[in-house]
Amino acid sequence: MSFKRHIPNIVTLLNLFSGCIAVIFAVYGNFVAAAIFVFLGIFFDFFDGLLARKLNVQSPLGIQLDSLADLVTSGVVPGVIMFKLISLAINAPEFNGNKNSWNSGFELEMLEVPILPLFGLLIALASAYRLAKFNLDEDQQTYFKGLPVPANTLVILSLPLILEYQNSDVMNAIIINKWFLIGLTLLSCYLLNSNIKLFALKFKNWKFRDNAVRYIFLILSVVLLIVLQFAAIPLIIALYLILSIVDRKNIN
């Protein structure tokens, strides 16, 4: 039995391992560490499929394992983070930038759990549904139907990072608003399972004419990141959606 057929699955399990660690950090309110392990998991998620294709060892097991790993890294983690953020918004409506307040927003005492923060976990449910649909959809080879779960995760992860590092009263007030967070949760659930066709960052060649929308997206994304830092991430995903809709006739 060749060892190389197991290499992509080992990388996928590293994605899952990273996601499990990120869940632990997210539960304890350490969103920076959670973000680091989610980014690491997304890195492994990118390379497991690439390795499977390069080694020519794609398998149904690998496809299922990949989705299970993504469910944790890009489903459970953003759900827990949104749960914690809504809890913080309810218990600390006037966020003062105190880093020690992350874990004070919610305390589980017996079964007295506030209902509103549980809305954040809808992200995990919507991510699971999207991943299950993706596994059964044979059309999504050159494009995505609905927002990919890693992209949605980046949006959710950007919120605590903006609070932690950018210290803007305006952005803090928007993010630590329970209705904004609930609205974003519902929007995320819709986009994950919508029928909107979104281009994939797969280049068949390097010609600008054939990949104009991809080059424009990448260039604008770099500029936004340099100028706005973590606050650029939601704008980059919005740009991704807008460019896909504008260029929908060329997505196939």
Question: Which pair of tokens denotes residue 81?
Answer: 């983070």
- Which of the 8 DSSP states describes residue 2? -
**Domain ranges in the chain with CATH number 1.20.120:** 3-195
Other CB atoms within 10 Å distance of the CB of residue 119: 18
Residue with tokens 């952005």: 171
Closest CA to 210 of 220, 202, 222: 202
- C-alpha 243 chain-centroid distance: 19
Contact of 52 with 58, CB cutoff 8 Å: yes
Q: CATH number of 3-195: 1.20.120, 1.10.3470, 1.10.20, 1.20.1630?
A: 1.20.120
Question: pTM (2 decimals)?
Answer: 0.86
pLDDT computed for residue 136 by the predictor: 84
pLDDT computed for residue 76 by the predictor: 97
pLDDT computed for residue 108 by the predictor: 47
pLDDT-flagged residues of the chain (< 50): 1, 93-94, 99, 104-111
Distance between CA atoms of residues 43 and 51, nearest Å: 12
pLDDT computed for residue 252 by the predictor: 64
Can you name the residues that pair with 199 across neighbouring β-strands? 143
Mean pLDDT for the chain?
86
Closest CA to 242 of 147, 121, 158: 147
Closest CA to 48 of 36, 35, 58, 38: 58
Contact of 80 with 26, CB cutoff 8 Å: yes
